[in-house]
Protein backbone atom coordinates (compact mmCIF):
# COMPACT_ATOMS: atom_id res chain seq x y z
CA UNK A 1 0.00 0.00 0.00
CA UNK A 2 1.19 3.50 -0.60
CA UNK A 3 0.27 6.75 0.98
CA UNK A 4 1.05 10.27 -0.01
CA UNK A 5 3.27 11.99 2.43
CA UNK A 6 1.70 15.25 3.40
CA UNK A 7 4.60 16.69 5.31
CA UNK A 8 4.66 20.03 3.61
CA UNK A 9 7.62 22.16 4.65
CA UNK A 10 6.45 23.44 7.97
CA UNK A 11 5.44 27.06 7.71
CA UNK A 12 6.48 28.56 10.97
CA UNK A 13 3.43 27.80 13.03
CA UNK A 14 3.44 28.06 16.75
CA UNK A 15 0.70 25.51 17.14
CA UNK A 16 -1.13 25.58 20.43
CA UNK A 17 -4.71 24.52 20.87
CA UNK A 18 -6.88 24.60 23.99
CA UNK A 19 -6.87 21.59 26.29
CA UNK A 20 -9.40 18.89 25.53
CA UNK A 21 -10.48 18.48 29.11
CA UNK A 22 -11.22 22.15 29.47
CA UNK A 23 -13.22 22.39 26.28
CA UNK A 24 -15.08 19.20 27.16
CA UNK A 25 -15.99 20.54 30.58
CA UNK A 26 -17.22 23.85 29.13
CA UNK A 27 -19.43 21.89 26.73
CA UNK A 28 -20.79 19.78 29.56
CA UNK A 29 -21.49 22.93 31.53
CA UNK A 30 -23.33 24.40 28.54
CA UNK A 31 -25.51 21.31 28.25
CA UNK A 32 -26.28 21.27 31.96
CA UNK A 33 -27.00 24.99 31.87
CA UNK A 34 -29.58 24.33 29.15
CA UNK A 35 -31.26 21.68 31.31
CA UNK A 36 -31.36 23.98 34.33
CA UNK A 37 -32.71 26.80 32.20
CA UNK A 38 -35.76 24.71 31.31
CA UNK A 39 -36.46 23.93 34.96
CA UNK A 40 -35.99 27.59 35.89
CA UNK A 41 -38.35 28.67 33.09
CA UNK A 42 -40.95 26.20 34.35
CA UNK A 43 -40.52 27.54 37.87
CA UNK A 44 -40.93 31.17 36.78
CA UNK A 45 -43.87 30.33 34.53
CA UNK A 46 -45.79 28.64 37.32
CA UNK A 47 -45.22 31.30 40.01
CA UNK A 48 -48.58 32.22 41.49
CA UNK A 49 -50.47 29.64 39.46
CA UNK A 50 -50.96 26.98 42.11
CA UNK A 51 -54.65 26.24 42.57
CA UNK A 52 -54.31 25.16 46.20
CA UNK A 53 -51.89 24.50 48.97
CA UNK A 54 -49.01 26.22 50.66
CA UNK A 55 -47.49 29.15 48.81
CA UNK A 56 -43.78 30.09 48.83
CA UNK A 57 -44.48 32.99 51.15
CA UNK A 58 -46.06 30.62 53.65
CA UNK A 59 -43.32 28.07 53.93
CA UNK A 60 -40.01 29.23 52.46
CA UNK A 61 -37.20 30.71 54.50
CA UNK A 62 -34.10 31.79 52.60
CA UNK A 63 -31.25 29.44 53.54
CA UNK A 64 -28.65 32.16 53.93
CA UNK A 65 -26.22 30.17 56.09
CA UNK A 66 -26.20 27.11 53.86
CA UNK A 67 -25.87 29.24 50.73
CA UNK A 68 -22.87 30.98 52.22
CA UNK A 69 -21.36 27.57 52.91
CA UNK A 70 -21.85 26.45 49.34
CA UNK A 71 -20.57 29.64 47.76
CA UNK A 72 -17.54 29.66 50.08
CA UNK A 73 -16.72 26.20 48.86
CA UNK A 74 -15.95 27.77 45.48
CA UNK A 75 -13.27 29.82 47.18
CA UNK A 76 -11.87 26.84 49.04
CA UNK A 77 -11.73 24.63 45.96
CA UNK A 78 -9.92 27.38 44.09
CA UNK A 79 -7.47 27.70 46.97
CA UNK A 80 -6.96 23.93 47.01
CA UNK A 81 -6.01 23.82 43.35
CA UNK A 82 -3.63 26.75 43.76
CA UNK A 83 -1.89 24.90 46.60
CA UNK A 84 -1.60 21.79 44.48
CA UNK A 85 -0.06 23.77 41.64
CA UNK A 86 2.46 25.13 44.14
CA UNK A 87 3.15 21.61 45.33
CA UNK A 88 1.88 22.16 48.86
CA UNK A 89 0.11 18.83 49.29
CA UNK A 90 -0.92 19.22 52.90
CA UNK A 91 -2.51 22.61 52.35
CA UNK A 92 -4.19 21.28 49.23
CA UNK A 93 -5.72 18.45 51.25
CA UNK A 94 -6.98 20.82 53.93
CA UNK A 95 -8.75 23.06 51.44
CA UNK A 96 -10.06 20.13 49.41
CA UNK A 97 -11.57 18.43 52.46
CA UNK A 98 -12.99 21.76 53.60
CA UNK A 99 -14.70 22.06 50.22
CA UNK A 100 -16.25 18.64 50.66
CA UNK A 101 -17.36 19.54 54.15
CA UNK A 102 -18.99 22.78 53.04
CA UNK A 103 -20.77 20.97 50.21
CA UNK A 104 -21.94 18.32 52.63
CA UNK A 105 -23.26 20.95 55.03
CA UNK A 106 -25.22 22.50 52.17
CA UNK A 107 -26.81 19.17 51.33
CA UNK A 108 -27.62 18.66 55.00
CA UNK A 109 -29.34 22.04 54.97
CA UNK A 110 -31.42 21.07 51.96
CA UNK A 111 -32.41 17.82 53.60
CA UNK A 112 -33.42 19.64 56.76
CA UNK A 113 -35.50 22.13 54.78
CA UNK A 114 -37.24 19.38 52.88
CA UNK A 115 -37.97 17.37 56.00
CA UNK A 116 -39.64 20.40 57.51
CA UNK A 117 -41.62 21.18 54.34
CA UNK A 118 -42.89 17.64 54.03
CA UNK A 119 -43.72 16.85 57.63
CA UNK A 120 -44.74 20.27 59.00
CA UNK A 121 -45.96 22.25 56.00
CA UNK A 122 -47.51 19.47 53.98
CA UNK A 123 -45.68 20.41 50.80
CA UNK A 124 -44.66 17.54 48.55
CA UNK A 125 -43.89 17.29 44.85
CA UNK A 126 -47.48 16.45 44.06
CA UNK A 127 -49.21 18.92 46.36
CA UNK A 128 -49.44 21.73 43.83
CA UNK A 129 -47.52 23.52 41.06
CA UNK A 130 -45.26 25.20 43.61
CA UNK A 131 -44.35 21.85 45.13
CA UNK A 132 -43.74 20.34 41.71
CA UNK A 133 -41.45 23.08 40.47
CA UNK A 134 -39.71 23.69 43.80
CA UNK A 135 -38.69 20.11 44.52
CA UNK A 136 -37.66 19.39 40.95
CA UNK A 137 -35.51 22.52 40.60
CA UNK A 138 -33.88 22.38 44.01
CA UNK A 139 -33.62 18.60 43.72
CA UNK A 140 -31.94 18.80 40.33
CA UNK A 141 -29.40 21.20 41.82
CA UNK A 142 -28.87 19.01 44.87
CA UNK A 143 -28.26 15.99 42.66
CA UNK A 144 -25.55 17.93 40.86
CA UNK A 145 -24.00 18.89 44.19
CA UNK A 146 -24.04 15.23 45.15
CA UNK A 147 -22.29 14.18 41.96
CA UNK A 148 -19.67 16.87 42.52
CA UNK A 149 -19.13 15.69 46.06
CA UNK A 150 -18.74 12.09 44.93
CA UNK A 151 -16.12 13.18 42.43
CA UNK A 152 -14.27 15.19 45.05
CA UNK A 153 -14.41 12.32 47.55
CA UNK A 154 -12.90 10.11 44.88
CA UNK A 155 -10.06 12.58 44.50
CA UNK A 156 -9.62 12.61 48.29
CA UNK A 157 -9.38 8.84 48.26
CA UNK A 158 -6.68 9.05 45.62
CA UNK A 159 -4.87 11.56 47.77
CA UNK A 160 -4.99 9.32 50.83
CA UNK A 161 -3.85 6.42 48.67
CA UNK A 162 -0.72 8.46 47.84
CA UNK A 163 -1.62 8.54 44.18
CA UNK A 164 -2.32 12.22 43.74
CA UNK A 165 0.49 14.20 42.12
CA UNK A 166 1.19 17.83 41.39
CA UNK A 167 0.76 17.03 37.68
CA UNK A 168 -2.92 16.32 38.28
CA UNK A 169 -3.56 19.96 39.09
CA UNK A 170 -4.94 20.69 35.63
CA UNK A 171 -7.50 17.91 35.92
CA UNK A 172 -8.56 19.09 39.34
CA UNK A 173 -8.89 22.57 37.99
CA UNK A 174 -11.24 21.25 35.32
CA UNK A 175 -13.25 19.46 38.00
CA UNK A 176 -13.36 22.67 39.99
CA UNK A 177 -14.94 24.34 36.92
CA UNK A 178 -17.85 21.95 37.37
CA UNK A 179 -18.05 22.88 41.03
CA UNK A 180 -18.06 26.61 40.21
CA UNK A 181 -20.88 25.94 37.76
CA UNK A 182 -22.91 24.18 40.45
CA UNK A 183 -22.41 27.18 42.73
CA UNK A 184 -23.37 29.62 39.98
CA UNK A 185 -26.55 27.64 39.39
CA UNK A 186 -27.32 27.95 43.08
CA UNK A 187 -27.09 31.74 42.81
CA UNK A 188 -29.75 31.62 40.09
CA UNK A 189 -31.92 29.08 41.93
CA UNK A 190 -31.69 31.10 45.12
CA UNK A 191 -32.76 34.27 43.36
CA UNK A 192 -35.62 32.59 41.53
CA UNK A 193 -36.99 30.53 44.42
CA UNK A 194 -36.32 32.64 47.52
CA UNK A 195 -36.35 36.16 46.13
CA UNK A 196 -38.41 36.48 42.93
CA UNK A 197 -40.87 33.71 43.63
CA UNK A 198 -41.80 34.73 47.16
Partner 1 sequence: MSANTIAVPELPVSRPFTLRLHEWVTTVDHKRLGILYILFALVFLIVGGIEATIMRLQLVRPHNDLVSPEVFNRMFTMHGTTMIFFVAMPMVFGFANYLVPLMIGARDMAFPRLNAFSFWMSALGGIFLYFSFLGGDGLYGAGSAPDVGWFAYAPLTAKTFSVGHSTDYWTLSLLSSGIGSIGTAINIIATILCMRCPGMTLGKMPLLVWLNLVMAGMVILAVSPLSAAQIMLLIDRYLGAHFFDTQAGGSAVIWMHFFWIFGHPEVYVLVLPAFAFASEIIPVFSRKAIFGYPVMVLATIAIGFIGMSVWAHHMFTIGMSAGANTFFVLSTMAIAVPTGIKIFNWVATMWGGKLRFDAPMLFCVGFLFQFLVAGLTGVTLAVAPLDWQLGNSYYVVAHFHYVIVGGILFCIFGAFYYWFPKTSGKMYNETLARLHFWLFFIGFHLTFDFMHVPGVLGMPRRIYTYEPGRGWDIWNLIVTVGVVFQAAGVLVFVFNLVWSYLRGQAAGNDPWDAWTLEWSTSSPPPMYNYGVIPTVRSRRPLWDLKHPEDPDWRYE
Positions in the binding site for partner 1 (CB under 8 A)? 1-8, 10-11, 13, 15, 17-20, 23-24, 27-28, 30-32, 34-35, 37-39, 42, 45-46, 49-51, 125-126, 128-129, 131-133, 136, 140
Q: In the bound complex, what is the minimum distance in angstroms from residue 156's beta carbon to partner 1? A: 23
Cβ neighbours of residue 138 closer than 8 Å, sequence gap 6 or more = 110, 189, 193
Output 17 or 195, the one with its CB closest to partner 1. 17
Distance, CA of 80 to chain centre:
17
Output 13 or 90, the one with its CB closest to partner 1. 13
- For residues 94 and 37, what is the distance between their CA atoms, to the nearest angstrom? 34
- For residues 175 and 22, what is the distance between their CA atoms, to the nearest angstrom? 9
Q: In the bound complex, what is the minimum distance in angstroms from residue 139's beta carbon to partner 1? A: 9
Q: Classify 19 in phi/psi space as left (phi over 0), alpha (psi -120 to 50) or beta.
A: beta
Output 11 or 90, the one with its CB closest to partner 1. 11
Q: In the bound complex, what is the minimum distance in angstroms from residue 176's beta carbon to partner 1? A: 18
Q: In the bound complex, what is the minimum distance in angstroms from residue 102's beta carbon to partner 1? A: 27
Output 30 or 68, the one with its CB closest to partner 1. 30
Output 8 or 90, the one with its CB closest to partner 1. 8
Exposure string over 95-134, b if 16+ CB within 10 A, otherwise e:
bbbbbbebbbbbbebbeebbeebeeeeebeeebbbbbbbb
Assess contact for 110 and 189: CB atoms under 8 A. Answer: no
Amino acid sequence: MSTLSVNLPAVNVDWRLPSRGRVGMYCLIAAEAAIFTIFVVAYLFYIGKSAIGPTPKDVLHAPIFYSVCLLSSSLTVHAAVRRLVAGNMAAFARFWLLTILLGGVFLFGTAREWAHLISQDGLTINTNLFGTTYYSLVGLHASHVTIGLLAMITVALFYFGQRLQREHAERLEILSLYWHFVDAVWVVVFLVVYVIGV
